[in-house]
Amino acid sequence: MATKTIKKVVEKGKVYITATFNNTIVTITDGIGNTLYWGSSGMVGFKGARKATPYAATTAVET
């Protein structure tokens, strides 16, 4: 069964980046604060110490 993808157009939003020693978490919200997307370098596939690299953070934002 196919699921329907809903696209939401948002004029203004906020990007929250939480960078710790072990991981980088990126959250994108709309103007009210509802989460539209979130991702982390661990979710992209980086493991261990590589999650904390700038390249892993960039990859988490791009996906």
What superfamily does domain 13-62 belong to in CATH?
Ribosomal protein S11/S14 (3.30.420.80)
Average pLDDT over residues 31-55: 90
Q: Kindly tell me if the per-residue pLDDT of 63 is higher than 80.
A: no
Which residue has tokens 């700038």? 54
Q: Provide the pLDDT confidence category of residue 5 given band limits of 50, 70 and 90.
A: confident
Residue ranges covered by each domain of the chain: 13-62
- What's the pLDDT score for residue 10? 81
Reading the block at residue 21, the tokens are 């020693």
